[in-house]
Structure 1
Amino acid sequence: MSTVKYAEDLTVGDVVELGEHTVTEAELLDFAGTWDPQDFHVDAEAAEKGAFGGLIASGLHSMSVLQRLSALGWYRHLSVICGRGVRDVRFWRPVRPDDTLTGTIRVDEIVLDDHGRGLVTTTSELRDAGGNVMLHAVMDLYVRRRPEPAIG
């Protein structure tokens, strides 16, 4: 069993490899059909004639892939309280059916407070098999500070 990390255990500059996920066409169509039913996400024929020349994943789908990889690859090893925000989201390239995406998180800043937590700012990216950045986002999350040892 791995040891849970607290805010004080993190270091600015830490990079965490999150693993990978392959976006299948069925997954892409299912997600988009439920949450973002625009033609270029759900209709192969219309998508072929569109600006991207074929089906592409919803940006929200790409964010969901990043969240899953983050939760399984890093957050479950942290004493996370909650997310605070996401900003500077950039969808640099469209995610297509059968793209395999790998994720990374870099710790950019840690601000400890007197409320038993630290605000951890990170930069997250998804890359395709060729190493191209597909998605970039800056995220803030609250992580518990190490508990004080019991006295007595």
Structure 2
Amino acid sequence: MTIFFDDLAVDDEWTSGEYAVTEAEIREFADQYDPQWFHTDPDRAAEESPYEGLIASGWHTTAMTMRLLVDNFLSDAATMGAKGVDELRWRRPVEPGDSLSIQATVEDKAVDSESRGTVRLRIETTNGDDEPVCTMVGIVMFARREE
């Protein structure tokens, strides 16, 4: 069933399955998009980094969050893209072997036109120890049901 703007209510929540983070993926993402040594060089990171090992780029953490959001909610919704993201924070490092999951909550919604509305989704990504690693508010456009 497709979820439209009209089907959503403030405080509706969704949770996700898990996303397994690998060292290979961390290094591959970093090599292409954020090639800082603490994302790409596990030996140096283990010796010199305050994290005592390789960590994922915050941008990679955000991308994994988006994957979980699409797989567990947005793929069943009449979304029309996003207007942006507010309050993006990387709360703690994501490490190889972490298992990420998300909780998304409708924080607010507003009608934009007869055909579209905007929903503010508060998203929290946690690791396998249920510690927050990323939080943000997505500003997502949804189609409205035709009357």
C-alpha displacement at 1:115, in angstroms?
4.2
Distance 2:37 2:63 in 1: 20
> Which structure's CA Rg is the greater one?
1
**Offset of 1:129 from its aligned partner?**
1.0
- Structure 2 counterpart of 1:108: 107
Secondary structure of 2:87 counterpart: strand
Partner of 2:53: 54
Number of residue pairs aligned between Structure 1 and Structure 2: 146
Instruction: Extract structure 1 runs of 4+ deviating beyond 3 A.
Output: none
Following superposition, the deviation at residue 113 of structure 1 comes to 2.5
Partner of 1:11: 9
Q: Superposed, which structure 2 residues align to 1:40-119 within 5 Å? A: 40-48=38-46, 49-119=48-118
Which amino acid in structure 2 is aligned with residue 57 of structure 1? A
Unaligned runs of 5+ in 2: none
How far apart, CA to CA, are the structure 2 residues paired with 1:87 and 1:112?
A: 19
Which amino acid in 2 is paired with 1:9? D
In the aligned structure 2, how far is the partner of 1:98 from the partner of 1:113? 42
In the aligned structure 1, how far is the partner of 2:76 from the partner of 2:16?
A: 12
Aligned-partner Cα distance in 1 for 2:53–2:98: 13
Q: Percent identity?
A: 33
Q: Which residue of 2 aligns with 1:126?
A: 125
1:35 to 23, 33, 36: 33
| Aligned mates of 2:114, 2:55 — CA distance in 1 | 43
TM-score normalised to structure 1 length: 0.93
Rounded Cα–Cα distance in structure 2 between residues aligned with 1:123 and 1:87: 9
